[in-house]
Amino acid sequence: MFAGITVVGIWASIQIRHFPTGAQLEAPDPWLDNQNPWELPRLDVTYEVRFYGYAERLNDGTGRSVWTGGQEVLAVAYDVMIPGCYTKNTNNLRLWESKPKRGFDLNSFNAGDYERAIESSNSAAAITSVLYPNDHTSFGKELRLKQQYFWTAASLADILRRFKNIGKPLSAFPDCKLYFYRVSRVLIDVYLQTHPTLAIPELMRILIDEEETPWDDAWNIVTNTFFYTNHTVLPEALEKWPVPLMEHLLPRHMQIIYDINMYFLQAVEKKFPGDRDRLARMSLIEEGFPKQVRMAFLACIGSRRVNGVAELHSELVRTTILKDFVEFEGRSKFSNVTNGITPRRWLDQCNPELSALISKTLGLQKPVWLKDLFRLEGLLKLVEDKKFRDEWAAIKQRNKERLANLVKTTLGFTVNTNAMFDVQIKRLHEYKRQTLNIFGVIYRYLTLKKMSAEERKKVNPRVVFFAGKAAPAYYIAKLTIRLIVNVARVINDDPETKDLLSLYFLPDYSVSLAEVLIPASDISQHISTAGTEASGTSNMKFCLNGGLLVGTVDGANIEIAEEVGESNVFFFGHLAPAVEDLRYQHVYHPVPIEEKCPALANVLNTVSGGMFGDGGVYDPLLNTIRQGDYYLLSDDFDSYIAALDLVDEAYKDKDEWVKKSIRTTAKMGKFSSDRAINEYAESFWNLEAIKVPQ
């Protein structure tokens, strides 16, 4: 609908296998070795990007500097066409590859220093050869900062070049419509956490040093061009860069950040005279050894609007990490746009049978309801139609068999497709609490082992699926994977219980794998510590496919429950406002876990005791819960188990379960990405939709 917008992408990935110990093993993904037929190399679209060197202030009263020396590399564009669904519009995904500026450093070559000549060309190509892993924790690594600057600088240069072609003054930059294939507009959203925030000082640099724009005018253009979407409030994930590294790699940008900070703090001082604590809290520079640049603050003050990605998350942005900024700049700059997912991929493509049934039942052509997802509400009047419910249930059953086939071919196991399918698939992280799930599985296993054969006959069989990658340096997350895999080995091999409880960890989680897992789930788990999951999107994908949800009162789970009705969601756990107090108590009034949550203590002791292989291996993981328990497992475990019991109880009434499933899908209209994009376009970016050619 908004054709011609250039989006900026990255390419890199890792494949995951498993060691015999069950540990995650990373291997490079050679996906470009045989070339990529979908990309168009654009050797005619290149820009020079500089690193290191010296920035010298001109001291002529203009604030300008001259940045010279250092390393210069070339950014080469690659275009990937992204066709829309049921439209002739096609967007362009523009990717950038780094190349040495010349084949190699001729100066060094002429001086007889062959090795240095090769080395400089290798280091240029290394910038985009693999994405530096930076997953919800920020490591201060030079290559990562280099990548961030490389991608933002190339994209910004490209946008400015195209803007200049239309011959308008730079003051029109934030509001100008660019004419390419169709109408679009210069508008830059600092999306994907704060990784492209360097675009803010970069645009200032171009305007001041190259275009000779006065500071105030440049800042005015910048703060009307950028929009900041925050994606996390986890303190450890808020990006910070050491000042010495910034000064070394991007000396001119560091000067500009200091200047932005000086003018900004002067304005804060004017509004809150004498409030030194406030100045220290709001400064773009965090004191310490070394000093650090707070990228989220830079993104906030350099942007026209700031938003979070679900109602609760946006409220937490306003009341925690950016509280001082709301007090300074006013509430109206800060708002919410709840995330969405595309029903084209996450229903029509991944669940073709359900999509066909919906079209037939609603009496609508696919494009009509796939582009207006609120139409799904038409399914509500069929909830009481037995024939429809049977068709609905039969499709779920076939999707479960499709997943069982995948498990057979990848892991070699035969899955019981009459069991309830219980799925948790997402990046491995402590805040997402895969630990809560695996400890719950162990608890269930121990409970089954204590039962008589007679009692076991009344138990609902359950198959638990996990998938997800851990960041290669995230030790605790990798240990969690190892525990899951080893628990699976024991449980799946126990003849007494294996028909009632089995567990599979599918390696190498990806979108393609998700497309098989999601349509097959009866229940999925979204169980982050309240207040930590900004939105979540897989929760939406599962519900769109008629899976029910067990979860905490967090992120978009809350809005999903508002839509589908709380009776169709299994909520548990403490609420976000309680979290701070609970953590305080963990530190200042700790209660031994044996007293506080005997059930969880027993599970942890079983793991230490060696039931799943050498117990000592898991000590570092178990100790995060026994000491400190930052993610509050001991506070939520009992209510989690109670919620899973309610799930079992509800699943016994299959027909009622199918009704819940249909009601859930029917009420997912709000979570279409079309709704989210339209909210950004209308109330945020001030973009008008164009007519879609038929």
Ligand X SMILES: *Cc1c(COP(=O)(O)O)cnc(C)c1O
276 Cα distance to chain centroid: 36
Q: Which is nearer to ligand X, 74 or 476 (CB)?
A: 476
Closer residue to ligand X, CB minimum distance, 453 or 511: 511
Find the binder of ligand X among 22, 63, 100, 536 (CB under 6 A).
Answer: 536
Active-site residue, 537 included:
yes
With binding defined as CB under 6 A, does residue 13 bind ligand X? no
Catalytic, out of 389, 426, 462, 660: 426
Query: CA 65 from chain center: how many Å?
Result: 37
Residues sharing a CB contact under 8 Å with residue 501, sequence separation 6 or more, in sequence order: 441, 444, 445, 448, 461, 462, 463, 464, 491
Q: How far apart are CA 7 and CA 28, in angstroms?
A: 25
Which of 194, 524 has the CB closer to ligand X?
A: 524
Stretch that binds ligand X, among 182-190, 408-416, 490-498, 534-542 (CB under 6 A): 534-542
Concerning whether 427 is annotated as a catalytic residue, the answer is yes
Rounded to the nearest whole angstrom, what is the least distance from the CB of residue 335 to ligand X in the complex?
Answer: 22
Between 200 and 514, CB nearer to ligand X: 514
Q: Tell me the two tokens of residue 517.
A: 């897992």
Q: Is 432 a catalytic residue?
A: yes
Residue 499 corresponds to which amino acid?
D
Q: Is 433 in the site for ligand X (CB under 6 A)?
A: no
Q: Which of residues 541-580 bind ligand X (CB under 6 A)?
A: 541
Cα pseudo-dihedral 317, 318, 322, 328, rounded to 10: 160
Between 213 and 339, CB nearer to ligand X: 339
199 closest CA partner among 184, 221, 181: 221
Q: Cβ of residue 10: shortest distance to ligand X, in angstroms?
A: 15
* Cα distance between residue 676 and residue 537, in whole Å: 12
Sheet of 90-100, strand order? 6-9, 90-100, 71-83, 39-51
- CA 91 – CA 205 distance, rounded (Å): 29
CA proximity to 604, closest of 493, 438, 464: 438
Strand order in the sheet with 240-242: 240-242, 292-294, 285-286
Residue-wise DSSP of 377-408? GGGGGGTT-HHHHHHHHHHHHHHHHHHHHHHH
Is 444 assigned a catalytic role? Answer: no
Q: What gap in Å lies between CA 36 and CA 27, rounded to an integer? A: 20
538 binding ligand X? (CB under 6 A): yes
Region binding ligand X by CB under 6 A among candidate stretches 268-276, 440-448, 530-538, 611-619 = 530-538
> With binding defined as CB under 6 A, does residue 133 bind ligand X?
no
- Shortest CB 536 distance to ligand X, Å: 4
Q: How far is the CB of 341 from ligand X (least distance, A)?
A: 7
Interface characters, 612-651, with ligand X (x: CB under 6 A):
----------------------------------------
Residue 537 interacts with ligand X (CB under 6 A)?
yes
Residue closer to ligand X (CB basis): 350 or 658: 350
Residue of 300, 514, 530, 662 interacting with ligand X (CB under 6 A):
514
Catalytic residue among 87, 223, 537, 606: 537
Q: What angle do CA 8, 538, 375 make, to 5 degrees?
A: 95
**Residues touching ligand X, count (CB under 6 A):** 8
The residue from 231, 252, 469, 586 that is catalytic is 231
Q: How many CB atoms lie within 10 A of CB 304?
A: 17
Annotation says 116 is catalytic: no
Please tell me the distance from the alpha carbon of residue 3 to that of residue 180, in angstroms, as a whole number.
9
Q: Does residue number 511 form part of the binding site for ligand X (CB under 6 A)?
A: yes
Could you confirm whether 387 is annotated as catalytic?
no
Catalytic: which of 240, 294, 541, 667? Answer: 541
What six digits make up the tokens of 177? 């419509």
φ, ψ dihedrals at 294, nearest 5°: -90, 100
426 binds ligand X (CB under 6 A): yes
Question: Alpha-carbon distance 591 to 531, whole Å?
Answer: 23
> For residues 99 and 168, what is the distance between their CA atoms, to the nearest angstrom?
32
For residues 303 and 538, which CB has a smaller minimum distance to ligand X in the complex?
Answer: 538
Active-site annotation holder among 427, 596, 626, 675 = 427
User: Which region, judged by CB under 6 A, interacts with ligand X, from 221-229, 375-383, 391-399, 533-541?
Assistant: 533-541
Residue 404 found at the interface with ligand X (CB under 6 A): no
Closer to ligand X at the Cβ: 379 or 514? 514
- Applying CB under 6 A, the residues found at the interface with ligand X are 426, 510-511, 514, 536-538, 541
Return the active site residues. 231, 426-427, 432, 537, 541
